[in-house]
Amino acid sequence: MNSTTINQLETYKAIEAVCVSNHACWSNVKEFRGAFSRFALKVAQLDILSENESSSLNPRLEYLIKEIEHILKVHFDRYFDYLQQKNSEIYQVYNRIRRSS
């Protein structure tokens, strides 16, 4: 696995940690709960696949990263933009992690 993929995985894990530690802020939002579940599943899959050094997995890794980025763009970015008004601290943490990737 290349360093870019490792960095992306670490970023995704950091985003997941922010969401888990702030579960109360979004647990009542059905759409975000679903998006978070899909995101966490994809991150876990990426983590497992990244442990395998087989180059035949590269297309699958790339596909997972595209799926994760889509979830982040369509669901997470919008929800955290909305949260900016209600909880700027969580928004700032998420935004810092997201923009660092």
pLDDT in tens, 29-55: 999 999 999 999 999 999 998 887 666
Q: What are phi and psi of 95, to 5 degrees?
A: -60, -40
Whole-angstrom distance, CA of residue 56 vs CA of residue 23? 36
Total length of the chain: 101
User: Is the whole-model pTM more than 0.95?
Assistant: no
pLDDT in tens, 52-101: 766 667 888 999 999 999 999 999 999 999 888 888 889 999 999 998 87
Q: Are 68 and 43 in contact (CB under 8 A)?
A: yes
Q: Can you give the pLDDT at residue 59? A: 86
Number of H helices, E strands in the chain: 6, 0
Q: Give domain limits for the chain.
A: 3-100
